[in-house]
A = this chain, B = another copy of it.
C-alpha cells in the first residue's frame, strides 16, 4: 500500500498523512493519532526509497573495512554498538569491504557521488591520514574512531591510549620490573604511536631506559602475540613483564611464556588491553589477566550518537571525546622476580 491509497482509505490528503507520520507540529493531535493508528492497523509504511529521494537524505551511515572485509573481533563489537544506536533513529549502516587503500578512497568517492550515505565513520586513522583530506574534498561528513592530525577540526571519539599504557608501565615499574616489553599494533596508526609514546614516557619517569628489542609491532592476533613473546624470551636479557595490545595477543603471549616453562604472574607479569569481549573475559583466564580496559561496544554506540548529532548540524568542535581507560589489577601481574 502506498501513500495515495492509504490517504484515500482514511479520507485525508497525502500531505496531512505525510506530516502526521513524520511528526510535524502543524497537524492536530487527534488527526495524528488517527493516522498513526490506521497506519499500524493497515500496515502502511512509507517507501524508504521515495522518502530518501524526496528529502535528499540517504538515511544511512557508511563504514569501510580494509583487508577483504576481514574485520576482526574488535570491529564486530564496535559495529554491534553502532548498529544498536543507529537503529533507534532508523538509520541504516552501510558496510563496505575493500582490499587496498586506493579501493577505500574509491569507495568514498562512490558513496559520495551516488548519495548513498549521509556520513561515514573512519576508523584506525594514521597520524596524518589522507582519508580526511579526501572526505573534506568530497564534502562527505565524517567522524573518526581514533584521532589524527589535521589543520581543521573534525569530530572524533578516541580512547586514551597514551594514558592506558603509561599507567600500565608505571604500575609494572612500581612492582620492580626493569625490563618491560610492549606488544603494539601497526606502527602507522595513531593509536599505536600513542601507546609507544605512553610507554616511553612512563619508562623515562621511572628512570628506565628504552630497549628497542623489547617493543614489537604487528596484528592483534594470537599468532603475532606468540611470536613476539617468543622473540622477547629468546633475548640474552628477557623481559620480566610484558604489555599486550589486545586479548588475542595476550593469549599468544601466555602460551609462549608457558611453553618456555615460565609462569605468568610470577616469572613474567602480563597486562593486556581489553576491548571487552562478551565471549572472552580476562577474569576467566588462568591466571586472571590484569588489564587496561575500554568497552569498544560502548564506543560504537557513542559514535552513533555523535554522528546523528553531527547530521543535525551540531558543530564538530563539540563532537570530540577522549575516553579514559580503566586499569584493573588481577592475578597476572606480580613483583619482579629477584
Hey, which chain B residues are within 8 Å of A219, CB to CB?
A: 279
Nearest CB of chain B from residue A192's CB, rounded to whole Å: 17
Is A75 in contact with chain B by the CB < 8 A criterion?
A: yes
Roughly how many angstroms separate A75 CA and B115 CA in the complex, as a whole number? 28
- Copies per complex of this chain: 2
Smallest Cβ distance from A106 to chain B, in angstroms?
A: 11
Question: Which residues of A77-135 are within 8 A (CB) of B?
Answer: 79-81, 83-84, 87, 92-98, 109-110, 113-116
Shortest CB-to-CB span from A18 to chain B, Å, is: 14
CB of A154 within 8 A of chain B? no
Which residue of B has the minimal Cβ distance to A113?
B45
A338 CB–B CB distance under 8 Å? no
A98: B residues at CB distance < 8 A = 87
Q: Closest approach, in angstroms, between the C-beta of A255 and any C-beta of chain B?
A: 5
| Contact across chains for A222 and B281 when beta carbons are under 8 A apart | yes
Is there a chain B Cβ closer than 8 Å to A48's Cβ? Answer: yes
Asked if residues A97 and B69 are in contact (CB atoms below 8 Å), the reply is: no
- Specify which of B48, B109, B279 is in contact with A248 (CB 8 Å cutoff): B279
Which B residue's beta carbon lies closest to that of A93? Answer: B95
Q: Which B residues are CB-close (under 8 A) to A73?
A: 72-73, 76, 279
Contacts of A116 in B (CB 8 A): 48, 92
Knowing A221-B279, A284-B226 are in contact, say whether A94-B97 is a contact too (CB < 8 A). Answer: no
When chains A and B are docked, how far (Å) is the Cα of A221 from the Cα of B72? 16
The yes or no answer to A49 lying at the interface (CB within 8 A) is: yes
Give the contacts of A249-308 with B (CB-CB under 8 A).
251-252, 255, 258-259, 278-281, 284-286, 297
Assess whether A47 is interfacial by the CB under 8 Å rule.
yes
- Contact: B220 with A279, CB < 8 Å? yes
In the complex, which residues of chain B have a beta carbon less than 8 angstroms from the beta carbon of A251?
A: 251, 280
* Minimal beta-carbon separation of A277 from chain B (angstroms): 8
Interface bits A200-232 vs B (CB < 8 Å: 1, else 0): 000000000000000000011111001000000
Decide yes or no whether A36 CB sits under 8 A from chain B: no
Q: Which of A23-31, A50-58, A165-173, A182-190 contacts B (4 or more CB under 8 A)?
A: A50-58
Q: Is residue A236 contacting chain B, with contact meaning CB distance below 8 A?
A: no
> B47–A49 contact, CB under 8 A?
no
Determine if B46 and A49 form an interchain contact, defined as CB atoms under 8 angstroms apart: no
- Least CB distance from A185 to B in Å reads 12
**How close is A295's CB to chain B, nearest CB, in angstroms?**
12
A89 to chain B, nearest CB (A): 13
User: A284 and B252 in contact (CB under 8 A), knowing A80-B97, A278-B221?
Assistant: yes
